[in-house]
Amino acid sequence: MSDTLFTKIINREIPADIIYEDDIALAFKDINPQAPVHFLVIPKKPIATINDISEEDRIAVGHLSFVAAKVAKEMGFAEEGYRTVMNCNEFGGQTVYHIHLHVLAGKLLGWPPYTNKPKTLE
């Protein structure tokens, strides 16, 4: 796959507010936060969508949830609660084709999460 802007963030070619990094994953604040706390956890390996996760990626992708919880505990909102979500393709609302786990916290989050009328009903 071609590089997305998230590869550029991993390589420090464009700036981001990085809050966690290890060999497998990077976490940084979302540029357009949808909650008082909103950061993204991404694998360093570029994987375009959830559909492209291979057998060999399974541990790295599971690691994203581990990192989300680790950062949630360190930032102090783990017990209060938070939401993780990974969007897939157009109907899922994906706009950057390098998988990323959204972590949203700091307010009572509504359900269902979408605010627009579902496309299937248009």
* 40 DSSP β-pair partners: 28, 102
CB 33 to ligand 5GP: min, Å: 8
Residue pair 120/83 in contact (Cβ under 8 Å)? The answer is: no
Q: For residues 31-60, which are near ligand 5GP according to CB under 6 A?
A: 31-32
| Range in contact with ligand 5GP (rule: CB under 6 A) among 24-32, 54-62, 71-79, 106-114 | 24-32
Contact residues for ligand 5GP (CB under 6 A)? 5, 16, 28-32, 87, 93-96
